[in-house]
């Protein structure tokens, strides 16, 4: 595994900002869970980390390498949803 670092990550859909400057360090070996009400940005945040969704601002680094412009298949990271419906 590798450290995942988010620095002021922002996501906008048009004029609507849905993720507002998220910053965190997820250390190698840590287990992290995002919880919150429907529509609060949990899945969007995971999709941005995995590379399935472009970020509108900020920086995502995996293992010390900035991956903002790295394709999902080349990031060496995966995600699992609770339900196949997502």
How many structural domains does the chain have? 1
For 7, the enclosing helix (H) or strand (E) is: strand 4-13
pLDDT of 74 > 90? The answer is yes
Reduced to 3 states (helix: H, G, I; strand: E, B; else coil), residue 25 is: strand
Specify the DSSP class assigned to residue 26: E
Nearest by Cα to 85 from 38, 36, 45, 15:
38
Domain extent for 14? 4-74
For residue 84, being part of any structural domain is answered with no
For residue 81, being part of any structural domain is answered with no
- Chain length of the chain: 86
For residue 79, being part of any structural domain is answered with no
What pLDDT band is residue 85 in, cutting at 50, 70 and 90? low
Judge contact between 85 and 43, C-beta under 8 A. Answer: no
pTM to 2 decimals?
Answer: 0.88
| pLDDT tens digits for range 12-47 | 999 999 999 999 999 999 988 899 999 999 999 999
Phi-psi region of 40 (alpha: psi -120 to 50; beta: other; left: phi over 0): alpha
pLDDT of 86 > 70? The answer is no
CATH number at residue 40: 3.40.50.300
Tokens 């529509």 appear where? 39
């Amino acid at each position: 595994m590798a450290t995942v670092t988010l620095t002021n990550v922002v996501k906008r859909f048009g004029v609507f900002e849905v993720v507002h400057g998220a910053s965190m360090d997820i250390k190698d070996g840590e287990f992290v869970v995002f919880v919150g009400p429907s529509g609060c940005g949990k899945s969007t945040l995971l999709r941005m980390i995995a590379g399935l969704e472009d970020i509108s601002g900020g920086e995502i680094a995996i293992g010390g390498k900035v991956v903002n412009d790295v394709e999902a298949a080349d990031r060496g990271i995966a995600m699992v949803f609770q339900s196949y419906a997502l």
